[in-house]
Every structure is written in structure tokens, then in C-alpha cells.
Amino acid sequence: MGGSSSPTKSRWKKVAYGGMQPGYDDNHTDESFLEDMVMNANVVKRDVMKVMQDSISISQYLSIVALVGVVWTYTLNYMLDENSLLLIDVGLLVSGFLVLILTEEMLSLYLLFHYFLNIAFFIMGLYILAPIYKTLTRSISSDSIYSVTVSLLIIHLFLHDYSRSAVRAPGTWKNPSLTSCISLNASVVASVFVASRLPSWVNVFAIMLFSLLVFLFAPLVTYCIRKYSFRLHILFSVGLMILSLGLVYVLHKLLFVVFLVLLIFVTIVCPYWLIMIQEYKFEINGPWDEAKLCFDITD
Amino acid sequence: MGDRRQHRILVVSDFFYPNFGGVENHIYYLSQCLLKLGHKVVVMTHAYGNRSGVRYMTGGLKVYYIPWKPFLMQNTLPTFYGTLPIMRNILIREKISIVHGHQAFSTLCHEALMHARTMGYKIVFTDHSLYGFADVGSIHMNKVLQFTLAEISQAICVSHTSKENTVLRSGLPPEKVFVIPNAVDTAMFMPAPERLKSDEIVIVVISRLVYRKGADLLVEVIPEVCRLFPKVRFIVGGDGPKRVRLEEMREKHSLQDRVEMLGAVPHAQVRSLLISGHIFLNSSLTEAFCIAILEAASCGLLTVSTRVGGVPEVLPDDMIVLAEPDPVDMVRAIKKAIAILPMIDPQDMHRRMKKLYDWHDVARRTEVVYDRALKCSDQHLLDRLSRYILLTHLSSKFQRRVQRGIALQRASGDYSAELS
């Protein structure tokens, strides 16, 4: 600076102090402008096959809910009696435990006993409450109950936590999010509503037990399967999808078409769509971004 | 300078005294200095409590507190046309020539700029903050900003980082954006008359205790520094939701006698708090400029700060120690600051700050921007409308333009590197 009037201008500096820089206007845009900008720094390249495989778990859950719906409909139309329902319940319970025992290497006898105890309490509670559920919605018309049930199921499907199992695998306790709680509650209320339209309290007990077993434990069981072997998970899902498609076909032709379209949309169209719109992904990062803390804040 | 034109400026923002903060300060000092330069300045803001109507401040600064109540974070409810009648009235009555809006999240500012443009006034906008591009709030704000700035005459940013950010967010051509930093009233922030004793070192923190100001970093840094340096004492001024965490930290490490928590500090007492310390610690996670650093430096304190946003531009390297926003590096920076502390002379630092920052200089530079704004050609209403239509397509086009620009820049950079 000190009086050295050299022909070359002093270099522009990216600083705010010291007033206007000699030789440069305030709106001077230097070559280094936006030098520190980073584009698409943390974009993950996705592969169609991978996305499709991941989307299978959504289709799988859709099929499970469809199966529940089918069982509900059959029971409401008196095509399934309480004995076969109870048989299904026992079958589900046993197969669920078998899956847990076979896939979970960490499962101790104590934990198993703990599970048994919990489920015993749970079944007893249901058994006691069944007569109350039976008369719960007597004063309300069936149509409103059915429409509310369908809406609740849709809410359940929308808010369900597909990324992780709603019920945690043993050892990984973390607070579930608000939406997954709402989703679970919606499914439970829907089951109560459906059960309350049934004629005998044994029926009510059986259907309640069935729905709650599925809604509470299916995520855990499918999570265990997926963790154990991905191929088994795919096979299991495809099997469930075919089973549910078949049963829905028997039930209603139009529903079958809708369900089929939904499954195709979820497993094939959506992954392609995601890959297609990937190229429009545009992230900008730079020094103006809020710094991220590199440690966990434990409140 | 005989032919210098006198401007009649209306400064609009939701943020003005009695509220207190960086923007409020900026508007007040800039207006005072512009008045001294012979311009006419009128400030317009919304009513604060029962402070409604016209007030006069020092130097004949006229302030309109228009009768609109704030509804969220001191912002008025966006009504688009609700403020038009009173705006028009003020603009005509005060014979305004330039409307100058401040701060991107002031709704009053956005509305005023829109109406002023419709009425054919030249408009200037100052951006005081940084925004990201990822979360919903920022995306919305950036859209609003694009809408307002689509027809701005000139824009001002407080730091070069802020200029880059504003250009990206609003799609303005960079040559329309000026960088004019904040300043500090050095006369108000004099260092302590005699040097503090150096048998203990006092680190001062003055900030709102919120996430964005890095209160969580403090929770990690303070115990570690206290462990390493038995002579260090902390004074924390400020209040906020994270205060509980800091107090918990103090209990947990039993540092009650070494970490003093003062709660909110009124601005008038900031100087007396600052001069009781040796080092000023700023832990912000994002900052467009950071006036607090200027105030501390003006009081002769050595500053330790996180390297975020515009902070690296604020002070010369020998007056500040920068650290990455992670506890380990910040402790390292504090260690370094303690080591170089004996070399720092507060009086000398104050004298240097006097030369580096001056509100009169800011006002003179802003004057240049006003002159340029008046030279901007008038735009026809049809042009303006067509630009709004373009705006909807703007984002994708603009992104491509930026990408191309960057590519070119990189290429030329490589080229010049090869030459040298």
C-alpha cells in the first residue's frame, strides 16, 4: 500500500474490513466468486434393481394388510367360523415364534420366556375385554363402521414406518416416531371396530387376536427374516403377494385389479420414476451452510 | 462534490428499535451517517407495543411505526396489499426517491419493495443473513426473495460469502450486488483504560444460547478448556433454550466458580462485560457477518471464532483465531489464543479497528449504490410481468447457468495456472 504506485493493481482480497478496496468497486466480482461452492456433494447413485428390491418390503406389507382385510371380510360374511380363526391364530403365533427362534442367534431363553409371558398377559387381557368390544359400536350403523375402518387402514398404510420394523428387534430400543405411533394406533382401532360387528364374543376374541398379532408382530417377523437372508425375504414377499392376490381375486374382481395395479405401481413404476427424476437432483453447498455438529446432542 | 445529489431515502424493515439486534443497529447507524451526509432518511417499521405513529430520533431521524401488529418473530402478517395505502401515503408525503429494504425475512420489507416498484421508485435491498437450499423453510424464503428481487435496482450484502449466497438464491446478476459490511461504533466500544491482570484469563461469551449460535459447542468446549488451563475463567452472557444445558454442564463438572452465567445482557452493558475479559469466544454455526466480533475487537479482545459463513472475512488474521466448528479444534484455537495473548495490546487493537471499520465509510459506499440505483433504467410494467412468468422457469435455467459458469471458471483457473 505505502505509496507504491505500481502499475499492477493490488490483488483483490476476499475480506470485509478496511473499507473499499483500492481499485475495485464494491460490486466487483472476483474470479474466485463461488469458488467454494460444491454441487451434488452427497448424492447417492441409485440402481434400478436395488431400488426395486428395496420396494419389495412395501409391497410385502401391503399384501399382509390385504390378507388381514380378506380374513376380516370372510369373518364378517360368516364364511370363517371361530374355530378356524382360532386355528389361524395359533398357527400364526407358532410360526412367528419359530421364525424368531430360527433367525435370531442372540435369543436367550430368558428373552423367550419374557416374550411368552408378555403374550400370555396380552391374550388374557383380550379374552377378558372381548365381551366389551362386542357391544362397543352397537348403536352405530355398520356402513359408517366399515368406512371408518377403511379410512383408518389407509392412514395406517400411509404412516407405517416401512424403513424399519415398527416393533424393534430385541436390543435396539429407540423412540418410535410420532407417525409410526399414529399408524399403529389406527390399525388397532380399525381391528376393534371390525371385531365389534361380530355376533359372538369368541369370534370377537379370535379376530382381535388375529389382527393384533399381525399388526404388532408382522413387522418384527419380516424384519427378522430380512436380516437373516435377503433371498428368503424376497421369496417370502413374493409368496405373500401371490397368496394375497389369489385371495383378493376370489373375493372381488375389481378389487383384484386395483390391488394388482397398486403392487405394480409400488414395485416397478415408482423405482423407475425415482431413477428418472434423479438426474434433476441439484444440491448446492458452500460456506454459507449452517455447520453441522460432529457429535450427538443428548438432551 | 458540488453536484452530489441529495437522496430522499425510505428505509423499510420489520426490525428496528426498540427491538435490538444486528439489523436494527445497522439501520440506525447507517441512517445517522446518511443524515450527516446531507440526505433525507425516513425509517418505516411496524408498531412495537403501544409505540405507534411518528417518532423522531437523534439527528432528526423520522421513524414511522405503522399501526400493524407483528404476529410471528416480530414480523407482520403478509397481506400483500394491506400496507399499500399507508406506504403510498408515506412515499408521497416524504417525497421519497429511493426505497431501501432490509433483511430477507421481513415481510414488511418485501411488501414495501413490491409496492414501491409498482409506483416507479428505485429500490435497494440489503441482505443480512445466510440461507441454505435444502430445507422447506429456505426453499420458500428463496422463492419469495426471487419474486422481490426480480426487479431490484441494486442489492447490498454484508459480506462476500453473503453475496455468493444471495446471488445463488435470487438469481441476480453478480454485478448488481454490492458488498458493504457492517461497522462498529468504535467510540462506544473503548478498551479498558489499563491492562487487565494476566494472572487469570477471562474468556467472554455473549450470544443468544440457541442451537444456531453453537451453544452445544460451548457445552463441549468449556469443561475441556477448564481442565487444561486452571487459570481460565468463563463469563457467559445471554439467554435461550440451551441455557439449561450449559448449567447442567456446569453442575456436572462442578465449575460453578469458574463459569459465570449472567443471563441476557442489555446492549448498553455489553461493553463493560467485554472489557472484563481477555478473549472473546464466538461459537456460531452460521453467521453472515457477526457484529459481536467487531465489538469485541474494538474493546481490544482477542477473538476465537468458528470458521463459518462470513466470519473469516471480518478481521485480519492476526486479530482472530479461527477454528472448525468442532470441539477439538476449538480447544486447539483457544490454546493458541492463550499463547499469543501477551502479544496483544488492546489499545493498539482498538486503534486498528478504528481504521478498519467506520459507519461513515459504510454510508459513503451506500451512497454510491443509491447513485447507481437512480441511474438504472425504468422498466415497463409489461416487462415486469413477463419477468414474473420467467421466474417460474427460472430455477432450472438458472441452475444450468450457474453450472456452466462454474465450469468456465474452473477451466480458466486451470488455464492461468498453466501459464504461471
Task: Please tell me the distance from the alpha carbon of residue B93 to that of residue B109, in angstroms, as a whole number.
Answer: 19
Assigned domain for A14 exists? no
**Residue A290 touches partner B, C-beta closer than 8 Å:** yes
Collect all residues of chain A within an 8 Å Cβ-Cβ radius of residue B407: none
Within 8 A of A41 by CB-CB distance, chain B residues are: none
Residue bearing the bigger pLDDT, A75 or A178? A75
Report the pLDDT value the prediction gives residue A228, as an integer from 0 to 100: 85
Residue A281: inside a domain: no
Rounded to 5°, the CA angle B273-B278-B282 comes to 75
Tell me which residues of chain B, numbers 24 to 83, contact chain A at a CB-CB cutoff of 8 Å. Answer: none
Distance from CA of B92 to the nearest CA of A (A): 31
- Does B412 touch chain A if contact means CB atoms closer than 8 Å? yes
User: pLDDT tens digits for B107-123?
Assistant: 999 999 989 988 889 99
**Closest CA–CA distance from residue B95 to any residue of chain A (Å):** 28
Q: Give the up-direction half-sphere exposure of residue A62: CA atoms within 13 A in the CB hemisphere.
A: 21
The answer to whether the CB atoms of B285 and A290 lie below 8 A apart is yes
| Residue A62 C-alpha, separation from nearest chain B C-alpha, in angstroms | 30
**Are the beta carbons of A26 and B315 separated by less than 8 Å?**
no
The pLDDT assigned to A8 comes to 59
Residue matched to cell numbers 417518532: B55
Distance from CA of B224 to the nearest CA of A (A): 15
| Whole-number Å distance between alpha carbons of B351 and A57 | 68
Could you tell me if residue A15 is inside a domain? no
Q: What's the total number of domains in chain A? A: 1
Of A282, A286, A295, the CB nearest to B399: A282
Please tell me the predicted confidence (pLDDT) of residue B390.
66
The one-letter amino acid at B165: N
Q: How confident is the model over A87-128, as pLDDT tens digits?
A: 999 999 999 888 888 887 666 778 788 888 988 998 999 999
- At A242 the pLDDT is 95
Q: Please, which pLDDT band fits residue B419 given cuts at 50, 70 and 90?
A: very low
Q: What is the pLDDT of residue B405?
A: 54
Residues from chain A contacting residue B399 (CB–CB below 8 Å): 282
Least CB–CB distance from B164: residue in A288, A292, A299: A288
CA distance B341 to B203: 12
Who's near A264: CB < 8 A, 6+ residues apart?
A: none
> Which long-range contacts link A232-239 to residues 24+ away (Cβ below 8 Å)?
A233/A56, A233/A57, A234/A53, A234/A56, A236/A60, A237/A56, A237/A57, A237/A59, A237/A60, A237/A63, A238/A56
Contact B285 A291 (CB under 8 A): yes
Q: A82: domain range?
A: 48-168+175-276
User: Span A133-154, mean pLDDT?
Assistant: 91
What percentage of chain B reaches a pLDDT higher than 90?
Answer: 60
Distances (CA, A) of B187 to A270, B25, B280: 64, 15, 19
SS3 at position B258: coil
> Percent of chain A, pLDDT > 90?
38
Residue A41 counted as domain residue:
no
pLDDT digits (tens, 9 = 90+) for A258-295: 999 999 999 999 999 988 888 777 778 888 888 888 77
Q: CA B190 → CA A249, B297, B392, distances in Å?
A: 85, 10, 51
User: Are the CB atoms for B101 and B123 separated by under 8 Å?
Assistant: yes
Cβ of residue B308 closer than 8 Å to a chain A Cβ: yes
Residue A39 bridge partners (DSSP): A284
pLDDT digits (tens, 9 = 90+) for B302-358: 999 999 989 999 999 999 999 999 999 999 999 999 999 988 899 999 999 999 999
Assembly ipTM: 0.72
In a domain, A33, yes or no: no
Judged by DSSP in three states, B176 sits in: helix
Whether B174 sits inside 8 A of A26 (CB atoms) is no
> Per-residue confidence at A145, pLDDT binned at 50, 70, 90?
very high
Which of B180, B145, B164, B131 is CA-nearest to residue B26? B180
Report yes or no on A146 lying in a domain. Answer: yes
User: Does pLDDT of A298 surpass 80?
Assistant: no
- Residues 312-351, chain B, touching A (beta carbon < 8 A): 313-316, 325-327
Query: Is the CB of B164 less than 8 angstroms away from the CB of A37?
Result: yes
Residue B130 to residue A288, Cβ atoms within 8 A: yes
A104 domain residue, yes or no: yes
Q: Taking CB atoms and an 8 Å limit, are A29 and B175 in contact across chains?
A: yes
Cα→Cα distances B409→A25, A32, B157, B398, Å = 21, 8, 22, 16
Give A175's contacts (C-beta < 8 A, 6+ positions apart).
Answer: none
| Position A283 in a domain | no
